[in-house]
């Protein structure tokens, strides 16, 4: 396993649509391991392959609490099949947008179809934080970021601020 550098806004790769994974090989398993290590190292609960510069439809998630046993899982080619009727609001952060939190209203539950790391196609019912995290990470696979939920003006101001900080900061997130 290896920690990878997390790609930060405004890098254009974050706006590209990730490609479907046709076959799960040793290379995909290594990528999943790297994503988990990178996510845990950065105190995240989810990470999409595009966030480390790999345009493949893979996400890793672990929404377990710090005092609980880890419950990591990898979703390959995830697709949301349906959403619940209720909504919930979470203050979402993103490893690609440091020190930024945005309140976002999303469907409280969803059913996601995906392939696991062993190649098994499955459906999973999700609600609460897990549902929010899955929706957030699938948005990454489609080139959508949490800042897209802001007004155009707020989004432009935030991107300028992040660009300025990126150019003047010596801090690197890996």
How far from chain centre, in Å, is Cα 73?
Answer: 13
Residues involved in catalysis: 137
Say which residue, 96 or 164, is predicted with more confidence. Answer: 96
Domain CATH code at residue 26: 3.90.45.10
Query: Residue 48 has what pLDDT?
Result: 98
Q: What is the domain extent for residue 146?
A: 12-168
Task: Indicate the DSSP class of residue 149.
Answer: G
Beta strand pairing call for 97-107 and 87-94: antiparallel
In a domain, 105, yes or no: yes
Residue 143: phi, psi to the nearest 5? 80, 20
Query: Residue 132 has what pLDDT?
Result: 97
CA 69 – CA 135 distance, rounded (Å): 23
pTM, to two decimals: 0.90
The 10s digit of each residue's pLDDT in 139-149 is: 999 999 999 99
The 10s digit of each residue's pLDDT in 87-122 is: 999 999 999 999 899 999 999 999 999 999 999 999
In a domain, 7, yes or no: no
Inform me whether the pLDDT recorded for 66 exceeds 90. Answer: no
In a domain, 6, yes or no: no
Retrieve residue 140's tokens: 């990454």
Say which residue, 94 or 173, is predicted with more confidence. Answer: 94
Element containing residue 47 per DSSP (H, E)? strand 46-48
Inform me whether the pLDDT recorded for 84 exceeds 50. Answer: yes
Please compute the mean of the pLDDT values over residues 20-30 and round it to a whole number.
Answer: 97
Inform me whether the pLDDT recorded for 169 exceeds 60. Answer: no
CA 165 – CA 14 distance, rounded (Å): 18
Inform me whether the pLDDT recorded for 67 exceeds 50. Answer: yes
Q: Give the angle subtended at the CA of 71 by the CAs of 69 and 76, to the nearest 5°.
A: 165
In a domain, 127, yes or no: yes
Say which residue, 131 or 164, is predicted with more confidence. Answer: 131
Task: Indicate the DSSP class of residue 89.
Answer: E
In a domain, 1, yes or no: no
In a domain, 5, yes or no: no
In a domain, 25, yes or no: yes
Retrieve residue 82's tokens: 């349906």
Element containing residue 61 per DSSP (H, E)? strand 58-61
Query: Residue 166 has what pLDDT?
Result: 60
Question: How many domains does the structure of the chain reveal?
Answer: 1
Residue 172: pLDDT band (50, 70, 90) is: very low
Say which residue, 40 or 165, is predicted with more confidence. Answer: 40
Element containing residue 155 per DSSP (H, E)? helix 152-168
Beta strand pairing call for 87-94 and 73-83: unpaired
Does residue 78 contact residue 117 with C-beta atoms inside 8 Å?
Answer: no
How far from chain centre, in Å, is Cα 52?
Answer: 10
User: Average pLDDT of the chain?
Assistant: 92
């Amino acid at each position: 396993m290896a920690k990878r550098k997390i790609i930060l806004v405004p890098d254009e790769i974050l706006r590209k649509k990730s490609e479907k994974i046709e076959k799960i090989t040793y290379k995909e398993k290594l990528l999943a391991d790297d994503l988990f290590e990178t996510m845990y190292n950065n105190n995240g609960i989810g990470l999409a392959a595009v966030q480390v510069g790999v345009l493949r439809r893979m996400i890793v998630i672990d929404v377990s609490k710090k005092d609980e046993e880890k419950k990591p899982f990898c979703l390959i080619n995830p697709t949301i099949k349906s959403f619940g009727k209720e909504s919930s609001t979470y203050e979402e952060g993103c490893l690609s947008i440091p020190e930024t939190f945005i309140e976002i209203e999303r469907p409280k539950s969803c059913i996601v179809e995906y392939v696991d790391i062993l190649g098994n196609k499955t459906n999973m019912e999700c609600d609460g934080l897990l549902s929010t995290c899955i929706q957030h990470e699938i948005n990454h696979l489609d080139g959508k970021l949490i800042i897209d939920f802001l007004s155009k003006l707020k989004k432009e101001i935030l991107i300028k601020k992040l660009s300025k900080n990126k150019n003047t900061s010596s801090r690197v997130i890996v």
